[in-house]
């Protein structure tokens, strides 16, 4: 251990502040006093150690700065990877949503396309009575008038055509309600059944629609047996 009282002396020597007699004495002591010389060498080594320490510290700071850059790059790469994965996920999600939308949209389109054409019942031309007027309005696709006029009648026929008018006016809920009110004994029951099934498809109630269509498929004599089969295949 270097005696602390030597510190200032060694420093003065290193800083070339010793001169004349004090310098001569110092250098002479180094040559004859081995203990003094040993402390001096120890001091020199300590100074070298301090220099090395600060040099290493400086280099280490540079490498640590580089470390941060590398880590940021890695994080950025992993962030980009996450973005790509997220994008793929998002795209898949969108595709799924779009697919579902497309599926629903397709169902709706199928239902509309397969909606059986109804030409209406034969009537006398002219407007001699309200029923004729309603049916004629239906035939010329004046749906509002047809619905209004049919609404004044209480018959399964009027209900059926009123429902179809509502359907054409895109009031499918009302149309469905009217069709559902048609009794099993009605001549329009089978028509109502298939149309309710198609409306359910449009309403995205695939399960209900499927049940109704399967029910139709149980009866080979059903007016819409084949159509029900086609719809089931499509959905």
Residues engaged in binding other proteins (CB under 8 A): 1-2, 4, 7-8, 11, 15, 42, 45-60, 62-64, 66-67, 70
Q: Which of 106, 138, 105, 120 is nearest to 191 (CA)?
A: 120
Shortest Cβ 60–other proteins spacing (Å): 6
Residue with Cβ nearer other proteins (15 or 221) = 15
Shortest Cβ 94–other proteins spacing (Å): 36
Shortest Cβ 72–other proteins spacing (Å): 13
Shortest Cβ 57–other proteins spacing (Å): 8
**CA dist 216 → 13, 18, 25, 173, 230 (Å):** 114, 118, 124, 21, 12
Question: Per DSSP, which regions of the chain are E strands?
Answer: none
Residue with Cβ nearer other proteins (57 or 220) = 57
Residue with Cβ nearer other proteins (43 or 131) = 43
Q: Which two tokens stand for residue 122?
A: 């034969």
What does residue 203 show for φ and ψ, rounded to 5 degrees?
-85, 5
Q: Is 222 left (phi over 0), alpha (psi -120 to 50) or beta?
A: beta
Residue with Cβ nearer other proteins (15 or 31) = 15
**CA dist 147 → 23, 42, 141, 178, 231 (Å):** 125, 113, 10, 11, 28
Report how far residue 182's alpha carbon sits from residue 156's, in angstroms, rounded to the nearest whole number.
Answer: 6
Q: Which two tokens stand for residue 182?
A: 């048609």
Report how far residue 169's alpha carbon sits from residue 175's, in angstroms, rounded to the nearest whole number.
Answer: 9
Shortest Cβ 36–other proteins spacing (Å): 16
Shortest Cβ 46–other proteins spacing (Å): 7
Residue with Cβ nearer other proteins (24 or 48) = 48
Shortest Cβ 233–other proteins spacing (Å): 57
Residue with Cβ nearer other proteins (45 or 129) = 45
Instruction: Annotate 119-140 with b (16+ C-beta within 10 A) or e (fewer).
Output: ebeebeeeeeeebebbbbbbbe
Residue with Cβ nearer other proteins (79 or 98) = 79
């Amino acid at each position: 251990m270097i005696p602390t009282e030597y510190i200032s002396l060694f420093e003065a020597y290193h800083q070339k502040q010793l001169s004349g007699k004090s310098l001569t004495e110092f250098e002479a002591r180094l040559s004859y006093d081995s203990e003094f010389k040993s402390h001096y060498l120890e001091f020199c080594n300590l100074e070298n150690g301090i220099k090395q320490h600060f040099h290493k510290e400086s280099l280490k700071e540079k490498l640590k700065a580089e470390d941060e850059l590398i880590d940021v790059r890695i994080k950025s790469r992993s962030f980009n990877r996450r973005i790509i994965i997220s994008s793929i996920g998002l795209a898949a999600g969108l595709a799924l949503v779009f697919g579902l939308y497309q599926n629903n949209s397709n169902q709706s389109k199928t239902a509309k396309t397969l909606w059986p054409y109804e030409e209406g019942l034969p009537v006398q031309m002219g407007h001699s009575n309200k029923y004729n007027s309603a049916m004629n309005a239906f035939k010329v696709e004046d749906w509002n008038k047809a619905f209004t006029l049919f609404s004044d009648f209480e018959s399964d026929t009027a209900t059926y055509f009123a429902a179809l008018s509502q359907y054409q006016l895109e009031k499918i809920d009302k149309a469905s309600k009217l069709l559902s009110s048609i009794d099993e004994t009605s001549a329009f029951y089978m028509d109502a059944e298939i149309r309710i099934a198609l409306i359910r498809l449009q309403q995205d109630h695939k399960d209900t629609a499927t049940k109704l269509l399967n029910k139709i498929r149980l009866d080979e004599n059903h007016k819409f047996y084949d159509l029900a089969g086609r719809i089931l295949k499509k959905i």
